[in-house]
Amino acid sequence: MTGTALLFLVLGLGLIGWIAGRARAAAFVRSAKGGPRGTVNSLPYYHGWFVAICAIAPALVFMFIWQSISPALVTDMVLSAPAAADLPQEGFARAAILSEARAIAQGFQIAAFQNESEKLVPLYKSALAYYKLIGVAATLLLLFAGGAYAFTRLKPDFRARSKVERVVMFGLLVASLIAILTTLGIFASLIFESWRFFSMVSPFEFLFGTEWNPKSVVTPGADNGYGAIPLFWGTIFIGAIIAMIVAIPLGLMSAIFLTQYASATVRKWMKPILEILAGVPTVVYGYFAALTVAPAVRDFAVMLGFSNAASDNALAAGIVMGVMIIPLVSSMSDDSIAAVPNAMRDGSLAMGATKSETIKKVLLPAALPGVVGGVLLAVSRAIGETMIVVMAAGYTANLTANPFATITTVTVQIVALLTGDQDFGSPHTLAAFALGLALFVTTFFLNYVALRVVKKYREAYE
């Protein structure tokens, strides 16, 4: 029996428990005297839920625990068999043989590459079957025990509702804790892997080195080509400079035009069109940048006299990224301009200022903190953007301010480092996590500051 089938069996039995509990409570209601519900404390379906929860919850918890401990038990059982005695003692070869034998026994792999693992397959098969049987039996036992216990507790005055509601509240709390758990998971995995990386490569080299040419075998103390400054520069140049040169004027002016000048009809049509720009997947932008924009930019650069312009130039990636960001800047500016009190605008207009003078001299200065917050969010979004730069910008680290040259970014290198060898402990893989940590910390900081600025600004006018 597979895990999925067992899961469905458990849920199906839970449903039967629900029906049984509800039927029993309905019988209480029928036999009770006085009033439509008589002296029964809770509605029948709460009794049903009580039985179902008591039956399913322990069984599911057990299944989860069993899933995580049974592999170790299986391995122990295989190793204690006499056939396993002549396995190599050395860790890596031993683990390889064991995992291969296990894969064959489970049907993931068809034939063995190592002779030793062939012998262990039947052992594994019997051990797996043995523990699976125990697991299924114990799950069902728990299920029936829980269900039976709950069923016997049902009485007309049993407070099923408050019990069920307590479980519901617990479920709500657990669901919200998942957000914390995810954040912790990100933090822990990034820090842990970066720690392993920095035990091989010095953090000093990583943070201040100017040469990015990562070697797969590192020698402690020597220069291993893990200087991330060119990547940081490339990320800032594409995401925070070129993209913002495109996104800030266009986004801000779009917001001003749509909120201050456009008629209601134009606004109704143009706002969703701008939002489509935000909904286009980044892989589409990346393809467009690589296929259409980049060659055009290169031709333009050659026309200007930059004969060495690269086809995977920074400018194309930056421009397309800027366009992607326009809706974000526009909607943030829109919100902050709308939050400026009308009295300020009316006052300026009453003094004889034209609309554009009012916008430039009154609305924008008043809305500036909100706009700045929006721009910070946009920068954080741009430097974390992956697909556009992976497809349109290059893989060569280059410490230059020439927008027609190939420049690589942090996200591109994360993708590149995880493409090659897939050994999890290699310096390449770990370097990707170190870069991820740098990216996470930067975006976290930017988001935090941006949200603070925006919040403070909103409070100022409320």
Produce one character per residue of 210-240: b if its CB has 16 or more CB atoms within 10 Å, e if not. Answer: ebbebeeebeeeeebebbbbbbbbbbbbbbb
- CB nearer to another protein: pick between 76 and 357: 357
**Sign of the dihedral defined by the CA atoms of residues 133, 135, 136, 141, in that order:** positive
CB of 349 to another protein, least distance (A): 12
Residue type, 224: N
- List binders of another protein among 379-418 (CB under 8 A): 380-381, 383-387, 390-391, 411, 414-415, 418
Q: Give yes or no for a contact between 252 and 371, defined as CB atoms under 8 angstroms apart.
A: yes
Among 17, 115, 4, 105, smallest CA distance to 58 is for 17
Q: Does 93 bind another protein (CB under 8 A)?
A: no
CB of 384 to another protein, least distance (A): 2
- CB nearer to another protein: pick between 117 and 411: 411
- List binders of another protein among 246-285 (CB under 8 A): 249-254, 256-258, 260-262, 270, 272-274, 276-277, 279-285
Out of 419, 420, 421, 456, which residue is the one contacting another protein (CB under 8 A)?
A: 419
- CB nearer to another protein: pick between 105 and 142: 105
Q: Does 357 bind another protein (CB under 8 A)?
A: yes
CB of 54 to another protein, least distance (A): 18
- CB nearer to another protein: pick between 202 and 429: 429
Q: Which range in 5-13, 150-158, 199-207, 431-439 contacts another protein by CB under 8 A?
A: 431-439
The contact mask relative to another protein for 187-216 (x = CB under 8 A, - = no) is --xx-xx-----------------------
CB of 357 to another protein, least distance (A): 7
Cα–Cα distance for residue pair 245/315, rounded to 1 Å? 11
- List binders of another protein among 334-353 (CB under 8 A): none
Among 22, 21, 65, 56, smallest CA distance to 167 is for 56
Q: Does 447 bind another protein (CB under 8 A)?
A: yes
Cα–Cα distance for residue pair 327/251, rounded to 1 Å? 6
Q: Give yes or no for a contact between 385 and 411, defined as CB atoms under 8 angstroms apart.
A: yes
Produce one character per residue of 433-452: b if its CB has 16 or more CB atoms within 10 Å, e if not. Answer: bbbbbbbbebbeebeeebee
Cα–Cα distance for residue pair 140/145, rounded to 1 Å? 8
CB of 181 to another protein, least distance (A): 9
**Sign of the dihedral defined by the CA atoms of residues 414, 417, 422, 426, in that order:** negative
- List binders of another protein among 129-188 (CB under 8 A): 161-162, 165, 168-169, 171-173, 175-180, 182-183, 185-186
**3 state DSSP class of 226:** strand
